[in-house]
Amino acid sequence: MSRILVTGAAGFVGSHLCEALIEGGHEVLAMDNLVTGRAGNLDEIFYHDRFTFHEHDVTEFVHVSGELDWVIHLASLASPVFYSDYPIKTLKVGALGTHKTLGLAKEKDASYLFASTSEVYGDPEVNPQPESYRGNVDSYGPRSCYDESKRYGESLLRAYRDEHDIDVRIARIFNTYGPRMRLDDGRVIPTFVRQALNGEDLTVHGDGSQTRSFCYVSDLIGGFDRLMESDVQTPVNVGNPDERTILSLAELVIDLTDSESDITHEPLPPQDPQVRKPDIGKAKSELGWEPTVPLEEGLERSIEYFESVM
C-alpha cells in the first residue's frame, strides 16, 4: 500500500483517479480548493477509512503529516471557460502549485506525477504529435495562461529531477471525457451532449473540419497506473489516436441521443488548434499501454451520466 497525495482530487479526472487508487489498496490524501471541482464527485469514497479530503489551495503552503510515497499533481483549470475566466489562478496553479508540491515531494522523498497536456503542442504543424515535437505555441496568445502553465510545470519537473533527484513522471493528456465532466465547462463533448439532450442546435465552430482525439477517462487512469509503475521520467502522451472531425462528433452525438437537434456554425475561436492526435508509440513500447474504449461506447456511458444530472 502506498500513501498518495492527489491535488485536484474533486475534479473530473481527479475523482476517478482517487477511486482507482482506493480500489488498488492505497491510502489517498485528496486536496482541492473546489473552485471548479465538486466534493460530490467523491461521494463513493468520501467516508472510506483510507481516504481523507483536505479543502486547500495548492498555490498556498502545502503541508502533509506523515510519510508520502507519491504526489500526483492534477490541480488545474483545464476547460477553456474556466481558464479564460481565471487566467491568473491558472498560471499560479501551474507555477506556484507545482513548485510547492514538488517541494513537498522533495521533503517526503516521494515520487511525483504531473498532469501535463497536449496543449503544450499548441496549434501543431506535425500530425500526429510525438513527444519529440516542440510545439507551436503563442506565449502571449488567448490560450497562453493554460498552455504556458503546463509548459512551465514540465520545465520545473525537469529542474527538480536534475537538481534534487526527484523521481518524476509527466503525462501529456489528450482530450479526456466521461462521467463527472461539468456540463458548463465549455469542452466540446459535454456541450454537444447538453445541447442535444435539450433539443438545441449543436454549435460547431468553423466548418467543423478541425480534429480532436478523445480518450475515455478509464483509459487515462490506466495510463497513469502504467506510467507510475514504469521508470520513464520523460513526457509520455496519454490519449486515444482515434482522430475525429468536430462535425462528425456532432453528428455522432445527435445519433446516440436520438435528438432532433440541428447543427449550426459559429466563427472559430482565435488560435483554435486545427488538428490534435497523439502519437502513442512511446506509451505502447515503454508502458505497454494503449486505450481500449471506443468513442461510441464511451459516449454512450457519458450520455447516460449527463442524463442523470440534467
User: Above 90 in pLDDT, residue 6?
Assistant: yes
pLDDT of residue 3: 98
The CATH code of the domain that includes 251 is 3.90.25.10
Tell me if 140 is assigned to some domain: yes
pLDDT of residue 65: 96
Tell me if 182 is assigned to some domain: no
User: Above 90 in pLDDT, residue 80?
Assistant: no
pLDDT of residue 294: 98
Domain that holds residue 204: 188-209+243-275+302-309
Domain count across the chain:
2
pLDDT of residue 79: 84
User: Above 90 in pLDDT, residue 81?
Assistant: no
72 and 57 in a single domain? The answer is yes
Q: 83 an active-site residue?
A: no
68 and 157 in a single domain? The answer is yes
pLDDT band at 78 (very low <50, low <70, confident <90, very high): confident
Percent of the chain with pLDDT over 70: 100
195 and 136 in a single domain? The answer is no
202 and 56 in a single domain? The answer is no
pLDDT of residue 82: 87
3-state SS record for the chain: CCEEEEECCCCHHHHHHHHHHHHCCCEEEEEECCCCCCHHHHCCCCCCCCEEEEECCCCCCCCCCCCCCEEEECCCCCCHHHHHHCHHHHHHHHHHHHHHHHHHHHHHCCEEEEEEEHHHHECCCCCCECCCCCCECCCCCCCHHHHHHHHHHHHHHHHHHHHHCCCEEEEEECCEECCCCCCCCCCHHHHHHHHHHCCCCEEEECCCCCEEECEEHHHHHHHHHHHHHCCCCCCEEECCCCEEEHHHHHHHHHHHHCCCCCEEEECCCCCCCCCCCECCHHHHHHHCCCCCCCHHHHHHHHHHHHHHHC
pLDDT of residue 293: 98
Q: Encode pLDDT of 193-248 as tens digits.
A: 999 999 999 999 999 999 999 999 999 999 999 999 999 999 999 999 999 999 99
pLDDT of residue 41: 98
pLDDT of residue 242: 98
Tell me if 113 is assigned to some domain: yes
162 and 256 in a single domain? The answer is no
**Per-chain mean pLDDT for the chain:** 97
pTM for the predicted model, two decimal places: 0.96
pLDDT of residue 50: 98
Percent of the chain with pLDDT over 90: 96
Q: Encode pLDDT of 128-167 as tens digits.
A: 999 999 999 999 999 999 999 999 999 999 999 999 999 9
Could you say which of 112, 121, 146, 177 is catalytic? 146
